[in-house]
Amino acid sequence: MGIRTNDEVLSLPPSLFLPFSLVNDFHVLVSLKQGFLSPEPALTSWNSSNPSSVCSWAGVFCSQDRVVSLDLTDLNLGGSVSAQVSRLDMLTYFSLAGNSFRGGIEIANLSSLQSLNISHNQFTGGLDWNYSSLSNLQVFDAYDNNFTALLPLGVLTLEKLKYLDLAGNYFYGKIPESYGKLLTEVTAVYKRTVTFSKEQILTFPNSALFPFLSFINMVSELRNLQPSPENESIRVKLFDSDKFKST
C-alpha cells in the first residue's frame, strides 16, 4: 500500500475526517429532512453533500463532535418526523414546536434528552412511548396537537419530570388513578380559581376527564419532591376545554 500524495488526501470525502458518531448524526438529519414538506428556505443550510458543515446547520448545535440540540421551532415545516431521530443519542434538547407536522411520532432511546417540545403541530395517534428510555426528561410539551388516545401511563416513570403539558388534544376515557401519583395539591382554572386535593380530583364522576380542568399547577410535590428555594414548582397541564371527549 503506497503513501497518499497531498493531492490524493485533499480529494478524499470530507466525511472521512469526521468522527464516526458525527457522521451518523449527519445521516440522521438528512433522513429527517427527506420527510419534511417545504424545508426550504428554512433548511437551506442543511447541505446533504457536505457532512463537515452539519454543526453549522440552522437549528443544530453540537458539543464535543455530537449533535446535542435540535431546534426547529416555528420554521413553517410540514410532513412527517422519521423515527430515525431517536438515533441522535446525545440529544439533550429537541423542539418541533409551531410547525405543521402530521401523523404519528415516537421518541425513544434518548437517555440524555432533557427537554422535548412537540407543541402546536398536527400529530395524531397516541403517546404510549417507551418512557423508560427517556430517563432524563424534565420538560415534555405536547400541547395543541390531534392526539386521540388514552392518557399515557408511561410518563409516570419520568422521575425527573418538572413540566408536562398534554392540553389541547383529544384524549378520552378516564383519568387513570395512577395519575394521582403526580398530584398532591393542584389548582384548576376555569373562569375562576379552585383548589382540589388529589382525592377530590380522582372522585369526580367516574373519574372521567372533565372540560374545566384546563390547567393544573403542581404546587407541592412530585413523588415526594418538596418545594424549596432549590426546586421550582412543577407544572402539569392535561386538558383544554376546546378539545375534550369523555366516555
Taking only the tens place, the pLDDT of each residue in 12-55 is: 455 455 678 999 999 999 999 999 998 889 999 999 888 999 99
- 6-167: CATH topology: 3.80.10
Residue 146: what pLDDT? 94
Residue 157 to residue 132: CA distance in whole angstroms: 6
Domain ranges of the chain: 6-167, 172-247
Q: Of 63, 53, 62, 64, which Cα lies nearest the Cα of 30?
A: 53
3-class SS of residue 88 = coil
Question: What does residue 139 show for φ and ψ, rounded to 5 degrees?
Answer: -130, 125
Residue with cell 398534554: 166
Residue 19: what pLDDT? 79
Taking only the tens place, the pLDDT of each residue in 43-77 is: 999 998 889 999 999 999 999 999 999 999 999 99
Angle at 165 between CA 159 and CA 168, to 5 degrees: 150
Output the nine-digit C-alpha cell for 144.
Answer: 395543541
Contacts of 82 by beta carbon, 8 Å cutoff, 6+ apart: 31, 32, 34, 35
Residue 193: what pLDDT? 33
Q: Of 80, 35, 34, 85, which Cα lies nearest the Cα of 60?
A: 85
- Is residue 236 within 8 A of residue 216, CB to CB? The reply is yes
Residue 139 to residue 95: CA distance in whole angstroms: 11
Global pTM value:
0.75
Residue ranges for the chain with pLDDT beneath 70: 1-18, 180-247
- The residue ranges of DSSP E strands in 2-157, in sequence order, are 36-37, 60-63, 66-71, 78-79, 93-95, 100-103, 115-117, 122-125, 139-141, 146-147
- Is residue 42 within 8 A of residue 53, CB to CB? The reply is no
